[in-house]
Amino acid sequence: MARAEGSSAAFAPTSPLWANEATLHQETAADLTKLTSMKNAGWSSLTNQVIKVCFSGPRSHCATFSHGRGMPLSQLFASQFAVETTESYMFNVLMKKFGKHLDLSHLKTVNNILKQ
């Protein structure tokens, strides 16, 4: 229902696209090779229980977030705050699902700080 280009401001954290019914480049929705941002009418019209986020295209490096709210995404982002999901990801596991390696070895932990 949507595609967000990482360097585009279209889906920035404060963008109204998250919560409104406007579409963006809807005519490109069926072309799975496109990389530009897109939002089609399904964002505001189809009720859903799960959000699937894919980092590398529509079918790879994906993680699901089951919210169980049964509402269109425009309504979810306009009215729901701190939505709990069924899935619970540790950050390194989530990054692996997105196809990214996360090296935490250089970070200080509370135990390492207290030992110093």
Map residue 98 onto helix, strand or coil.
coil
Say yes or no to pLDDT of 22 above 90: yes
Which domain does 53 fall in, by range? 2-115
Say yes or no to pLDDT of 16 above 60: yes
pLDDT tens by residue, 95-106: 899 998 877 676
Quote the mean pLDDT of the chain: 89
Residue whose tokens read 């709210």: 69
Map residue 77 onto helix, strand or coil.
helix
Looking at residue 112, its pLDDT comes to 52
Q: How many domains does the chain have?
A: 1
Q: What DSSP string describes 52-65? A: EEESSSTTSSEEEE
> What share of the chain has pLDDT > 90, as a percent?
63
- DSSP-derived secondary structure letter, 6: T
Looking at residue 28, its pLDDT comes to 96
